[in-house]
Amino acid sequence: MIYPIYIYGSQALRKECEPITEDFPDLAKFVKDMFETMYAADGVGLAAPQIGKNVKMFVIDPGFYAPDNEELKDTKRVYINPEIYEESVDEIVFTEGCLSIPGIHEDVSRPEAVKIRYLDENLQPHDELLEGYVARVVQHEYDHLQGTLFTDHLAPLRKTLVGGKLNGMSKGKFSAGYRTKQVK
Protein backbone atom coordinates (compact mmCIF):
# COMPACT_ATOMS: atom_id res chain seq x y z
CA MET A 1 0.00 0.00 0.00
CA ILE A 2 1.31 3.41 -0.96
CA TYR A 3 0.79 6.03 1.74
CA PRO A 4 0.54 9.77 1.10
CA ILE A 5 3.66 11.60 2.29
CA TYR A 6 3.22 14.21 5.00
CA ILE A 7 4.43 17.65 3.97
CA TYR A 8 6.22 20.38 5.93
CA GLY A 9 3.81 22.03 8.36
CA SER A 10 2.41 18.67 9.49
CA GLN A 11 2.56 17.97 13.23
CA ALA A 12 3.75 14.39 12.71
CA LEU A 13 7.06 15.64 11.28
CA ARG A 14 7.86 17.50 14.50
CA LYS A 15 7.10 14.85 17.10
CA GLU A 16 9.63 12.63 18.81
CA CYS A 17 8.99 9.01 17.83
CA GLU A 18 8.29 6.03 20.10
CA PRO A 19 10.35 2.82 19.97
CA ILE A 20 8.87 -0.15 18.12
CA THR A 21 8.05 -3.05 20.46
CA GLU A 22 7.75 -6.77 19.76
CA ASP A 23 3.97 -6.59 19.75
CA PHE A 24 3.92 -4.04 16.91
CA PRO A 25 1.02 -5.13 14.66
CA ASP A 26 2.11 -6.60 11.30
CA LEU A 27 5.62 -5.20 11.10
CA ALA A 28 6.29 -7.07 7.82
CA LYS A 29 3.44 -5.26 6.07
CA PHE A 30 4.53 -1.94 7.51
CA VAL A 31 8.07 -2.45 6.17
CA LYS A 32 6.72 -3.43 2.73
CA ASP A 33 4.43 -0.37 2.63
CA MET A 34 7.28 1.94 3.62
CA PHE A 35 9.43 0.71 0.72
CA GLU A 36 6.51 0.90 -1.73
CA THR A 37 5.77 4.46 -0.65
CA MET A 38 9.45 5.43 -0.92
CA TYR A 39 9.89 3.97 -4.43
CA ALA A 40 6.62 5.52 -5.63
CA ALA A 41 8.03 8.94 -4.71
CA ASP A 42 11.53 8.21 -6.15
CA GLY A 43 13.07 8.54 -2.70
CA VAL A 44 16.29 6.96 -1.38
CA GLY A 45 15.01 6.96 2.20
CA LEU A 46 11.76 7.33 4.12
CA ALA A 47 11.09 7.68 7.83
CA ALA A 48 7.87 6.51 9.52
CA PRO A 49 6.77 10.02 10.65
CA GLN A 50 6.71 10.99 6.96
CA ILE A 51 3.66 8.76 6.59
CA GLY A 52 2.21 9.98 9.86
CA LYS A 53 3.42 7.12 12.08
CA ASN A 54 5.47 8.36 15.01
CA VAL A 55 7.57 5.26 15.57
CA LYS A 56 11.35 4.82 15.41
CA MET A 57 11.78 3.28 11.99
CA PHE A 58 13.14 4.27 8.62
CA VAL A 59 14.01 2.51 5.38
CA ILE A 60 16.72 3.31 2.85
CA ASP A 61 17.78 2.01 -0.55
CA PRO A 62 20.53 4.35 -1.78
CA GLY A 63 21.63 2.00 -4.57
CA PHE A 64 18.18 1.57 -6.14
CA TYR A 65 18.64 4.34 -8.70
CA ALA A 66 22.34 3.64 -9.24
CA PRO A 67 22.62 -0.13 -9.80
CA ASP A 68 26.17 0.17 -11.22
CA ASN A 69 27.54 2.03 -8.19
CA GLU A 70 29.69 -0.49 -6.28
CA GLU A 71 29.77 1.62 -3.10
CA LEU A 72 25.98 1.50 -2.89
CA LYS A 73 25.55 -2.24 -3.54
CA ASP A 74 23.54 -4.04 -0.82
CA THR A 75 22.72 -0.91 1.14
CA LYS A 76 18.96 -1.51 1.22
CA ARG A 77 18.10 -1.53 4.93
CA VAL A 78 15.36 -1.29 7.51
CA TYR A 79 16.44 0.59 10.65
CA ILE A 80 14.29 -0.01 13.72
CA ASN A 81 14.95 1.77 17.05
CA PRO A 82 18.30 3.05 15.73
CA GLU A 83 20.86 4.79 17.89
CA ILE A 84 23.76 6.75 16.42
CA TYR A 85 26.35 6.41 19.20
CA GLU A 86 29.46 7.85 17.57
CA GLU A 87 30.12 10.53 14.96
CA SER A 88 33.31 11.47 13.13
CA VAL A 89 34.79 14.86 13.95
CA ASP A 90 35.22 15.57 10.23
CA GLU A 91 32.13 16.96 8.55
CA ILE A 92 31.29 17.20 4.87
CA VAL A 93 28.86 19.38 2.98
CA PHE A 94 26.31 17.69 0.73
CA THR A 95 23.13 18.89 -0.98
CA GLU A 96 20.02 17.37 0.58
CA GLY A 97 16.36 17.23 -0.26
CA CYS A 98 13.40 15.63 1.49
CA LEU A 99 10.15 14.09 0.24
CA SER A 100 8.38 16.09 2.97
CA ILE A 101 9.90 19.36 1.70
CA PRO A 102 9.36 19.18 -2.08
CA GLY A 103 11.26 21.60 -4.31
CA ILE A 104 13.90 22.64 -1.79
CA HIS A 105 17.49 21.46 -2.01
CA GLU A 106 20.18 22.92 0.23
CA ASP A 107 23.73 22.21 1.36
CA VAL A 108 23.98 20.65 4.81
CA SER A 109 27.15 19.93 6.80
CA ARG A 110 27.17 16.66 8.74
CA PRO A 111 29.69 14.16 10.13
CA GLU A 112 31.34 12.15 7.37
CA ALA A 113 30.94 8.85 9.25
CA VAL A 114 28.71 7.48 12.02
CA LYS A 115 28.38 4.32 14.08
CA ILE A 116 24.82 3.08 14.50
CA ARG A 117 23.08 0.30 16.44
CA TYR A 118 19.63 -0.84 15.31
CA LEU A 119 17.25 -3.73 14.78
CA ASP A 120 16.43 -5.01 11.31
CA GLU A 121 13.01 -6.06 9.98
CA ASN A 122 13.34 -9.37 11.88
CA LEU A 123 14.23 -7.46 15.07
CA GLN A 124 17.79 -8.79 14.89
CA PRO A 125 20.43 -6.41 16.30
CA HIS A 126 23.17 -4.86 14.15
CA ASP A 127 26.05 -2.47 14.68
CA GLU A 128 27.45 -0.67 11.63
CA LEU A 129 30.05 1.91 10.67
CA LEU A 130 28.62 4.01 7.85
CA GLU A 131 30.51 6.42 5.62
CA GLY A 132 29.93 8.57 2.56
CA TYR A 133 26.55 8.74 0.88
CA VAL A 134 24.94 6.02 3.01
CA ALA A 135 25.99 7.81 6.23
CA ARG A 136 24.44 10.95 4.82
CA VAL A 137 21.09 9.32 4.00
CA VAL A 138 20.97 7.57 7.38
CA GLN A 139 21.68 10.76 9.34
CA HIS A 140 18.94 12.60 7.44
CA GLU A 141 16.38 9.84 8.15
CA TYR A 142 17.53 9.47 11.77
CA ASP A 143 16.84 13.17 12.29
CA HIS A 144 13.21 12.59 11.28
CA LEU A 145 12.77 10.29 14.30
CA GLN A 146 13.55 13.20 16.64
CA GLY A 147 11.32 15.63 14.74
CA THR A 148 14.26 17.35 13.04
CA LEU A 149 14.27 18.34 9.35
CA PHE A 150 17.30 19.08 7.16
CA THR A 151 16.29 22.72 6.89
CA ASP A 152 16.84 23.03 10.66
CA HIS A 153 20.57 22.58 9.99
CA LEU A 154 20.95 25.48 7.56
CA ALA A 155 23.14 28.45 8.35
CA PRO A 156 21.15 31.50 9.56
CA LEU A 157 21.31 33.34 6.23
CA ARG A 158 20.17 30.34 4.17
CA LYS A 159 17.46 29.68 6.75
CA THR A 160 16.12 33.19 6.24
CA LEU A 161 16.24 32.83 2.47
CA VAL A 162 14.44 29.50 2.50
CA GLY A 163 12.08 30.59 5.30
CA GLY A 164 9.58 32.27 2.98
CA LYS A 165 9.21 29.15 0.85
CA LEU A 166 8.82 26.97 3.95
CA ASN A 167 6.20 29.30 5.30
CA GLY A 168 4.24 29.05 2.04
CA MET A 169 4.64 25.28 2.06
CA SER A 170 3.23 25.01 5.56
CA LYS A 171 0.17 26.88 4.23
CA GLY A 172 -0.28 24.42 1.38
CA LYS A 173 1.78 26.12 -1.33
CA PHE A 174 3.80 23.30 -2.91
CA SER A 175 3.69 20.76 -5.69
CA ALA A 176 4.99 17.21 -5.68
CA GLY A 177 4.84 14.36 -8.18
CA TYR A 178 3.47 11.93 -5.58
CA ARG A 179 0.54 11.63 -3.15
CA THR A 180 0.86 14.05 -0.27
CA LYS A 181 -0.98 15.05 2.86
CA GLN A 182 -0.76 17.90 5.33
CA VAL A 183 -2.16 17.45 8.83
CA LYS A 184 -1.65 20.33 11.20
- Which positions touch Co ion (CB under 5 A)? 98
Residue number, 81 or 139, with CB nearest to Co ion: 139
Q: Is 36 a catalytic residue?
A: no
Closest approach, Cβ 68 to Co ion, in A, equals 25
Catalytic site residue from 18, 36, 83, 141: 141
Rounded Cα–Cα distance for residues 99 and 8 (Å): 9
Closest approach, Cβ 99 to Co ion, in A, equals 6
Rounded Cα–Cα distance for residues 113 and 130 (Å): 6
Residue number, 80 or 98, with CB nearest to Co ion: 98
Report the DSSP pairing between strands 106-111 and 91-96.
Answer: antiparallel
| Per-residue exposure over 76-111, b if at least 16 CB sit within 10 Å of its own CB, e if not | ebbbbbbebeebeeeeeebebebbbbbebebebebb
Comparing every residue's Cβ against Co ion, the nearest one is 98
Residue number, 65 or 122, with CB nearest to Co ion: 65
Rounded Cα–Cα distance for residues 116 and 82 (Å): 7
Closest approach, Cβ 11 to Co ion, in A, equals 16
Catalytic residue set:
141
